[in-house]
Amino acid sequence: MYMTGFKCIHCGAELPADYAGYTCPECGGNLDIRYDYEAIRSALDKKNPFSAPRQDQFKYHILMPIEDVSHAPPLRVGATPLHRVNRLGAMVGLKNLYLKDDGLNPSQSFKDRASAMILVRAIEQDMEVVCGASTGNAGSSMACMAAAAQRPCVVFVPETAPPAKIAQLLIYGAKVIAVRGSYDDAFDLCSQVCEQRGWFNRNTGFNPFTREGKKTCSFEICEQLSWQAPDRVIVPTGDGNIISGIWKGMQDLYRVGLIDRLPRIDCAQAEGSSAITQAIHEAKATHFAPTGDDWRGLKIAPVRANTVADSISVDDPRDGLAAVRSVMESGGEAVTSSDEEILDAIKEVARQTGVFVEPSCACAWAGLKKLATEGRVNADERIVLLMTGCGLKDIQNARKVAGDPITIDPDLHAALAVL
């Protein structure tokens, strides 16, 4: 394993690889995992850098904090398709638009990348129970991976989580605790229980190893583009962990010499859950600059989240600073869309590409439409839309824009009349 230690995203403090905590002991900030990139660069075969028995995300284990890849769950995680979607792009004059369909992971969610990584880490640290808070996807993902590996799993969810996601959690055999409150309430209660019981805390934006699973999506995108980085990646954003994972993955590839430039990373949020976007706009307007590696001067004000895109509905983004840094360091954009625009985007993506996504993913397309309309992207840019979850997870909202079926009597003439 080439992991060398941790570095605080907030204050820049560095910690050794055997540090057993989750967050920075100096300031409480989130941690980023560091590697010996020169050693990895020397170990890679540039012609065939990731040949391995496994052909899913664990083929990239040389760039992951893993001692033994045999601890990974037996399910295929990652290795999802990258589709070129010309008709969708043509709607706003884009010539090189791609869609990364991570709804085809085992639990139909991008979050499987993090959950599989967390499971390996828990096994290697001899932690029996994995526990986390979720609006649905992260929890059902962890339950799926835990079931595959026969490990106990406990998930805290807000009681308003979509029924389809709750059903997934229960059918996989997880112990589910519905909290009367928001995701943030579930997050805090979960953290307290993990500390008291000594359970492995999977919470996104708290456990630094979640980012290490999510970054593998960037590895796949660049490999699928013949080791050419895209110009932009549009990322639906809630707590900030996915977008920071995408940026981390791109930086890893650049540091080991597998790509020769870095893409812009764009943040797409719902208007009703836009704490990260607001912080980015304020930072740009005030010309914020960190003091060396110390970013603690940048503050992210919580919001009262209210959006149909439940997977990215977050009051206080737990990995918000990492998300802000990803956009600002990459030269990306931040954009918000209304719930109406998000729901319309579900239909447009489905009818132009054949891919059915949940509202949080549709937010990425709604945001890109706005960027294109406002002239903030170029027609020739190679752009990847990150689609993080299957639309079957939220049928209720999809029905709002899908239209009603045609009801007729069981009669041939009636059928022919409406066709």
Q: What is the pLDDT of residues 8-43, one digit of tens each?
A: 999 999 999 999 899 999 999 999 999 999 999 999
- The CATH code of the domain that includes 336 is 3.40.50.1100
Burial class from Cβ neighbours inside 10 Å (0-12, 13-18, 19+) for residue 107 reads buried
For residues 379-405, give the mean pLDDT: 88
For residues 41-62, give the mean pLDDT: 88
Does residue 102 form part of some domain? yes
Does residue 324 form part of some domain? yes
Q: Where are the alpha helices (DSSP H) in 237-358?
A: 241-255, 275-285, 320-330, 339-353
Does residue 15 form part of some domain? no
Percent of the chain clearing pLDDT 70 (strictly above): 100
The Cα 35–Cα 25 span in angstroms is 20
Long-range contacts of 300-306 (CB under 8 A, 24+ apart): 300/275, 300/276, 300/324, 301/275, 302/275, 303/272, 303/273, 303/274, 303/275, 303/278, 305/182, 305/272, 305/273, 306/272, 306/273
Higher pLDDT, 179 or 330: 330
The pLDDT of residue 412 is 78
CA 59 to chain centre: 19
CA-nearest of 118, 126, 167 to 145 is 118
Q: How many other CB atoms sit within 10 Å of the CB of residue 224?
A: 18
Q: What is the pLDDT of residues 265-310, one digit of tens each?
A: 999 999 999 999 999 999 999 999 999 999 999 999 999 999 998 8
Q: How many other CB atoms sit within 10 Å of the CB of residue 292?
A: 7
CA 173 to chain centre: 24
Structure tokens at 262: 């870095």
Does residue 300 form part of some domain? yes
For residues 218-239, give the mean pLDDT: 97
> Is residue 402 scored above 90 in pLDDT?
no
The DSSP output letter for 375 is T
Q: How confident is the model at residue 161 (pLDDT cuts 50, 70, 90)?
A: confident
Does residue 73 form part of some domain? no
The Cα 204–Cα 183 span in angstroms is 11
Does residue 301 form part of some domain? yes
Structure tokens at 84: 């070129």
Percent of the chain clearing pLDDT 90 (strictly above): 72
The pLDDT of residue 396 is 83
> Is residue 393 scored above 80 in pLDDT?
no
Q: What is the pTM of this model?
A: 0.94
Single-letter amino acid code for the residue at 62: I
Strand, coil or helix: 323: helix
The pLDDT of residue 181 is 86
The Cα 364–Cα 256 span in angstroms is 29
- Domain that includes residue 317, residue range: 82-108+210-401
The DSSP output letter for 294 is B
> Is residue 319 scored above 80 in pLDDT?
yes
Q: How many distinct structural domains can be found in the chain?
A: 1
Does residue 379 form part of some domain? yes
Does residue 384 form part of some domain? yes
The pLDDT of residue 163 is 80
Degrees to nearest 5, angle at CA 326 with 52 and 49 = 15
The pLDDT of residue 53 is 79
Residue 42 belongs to what H/E stretch?
helix 37-43
**Euclidean distance between the first and final Cα of the chain, in Å?**
62
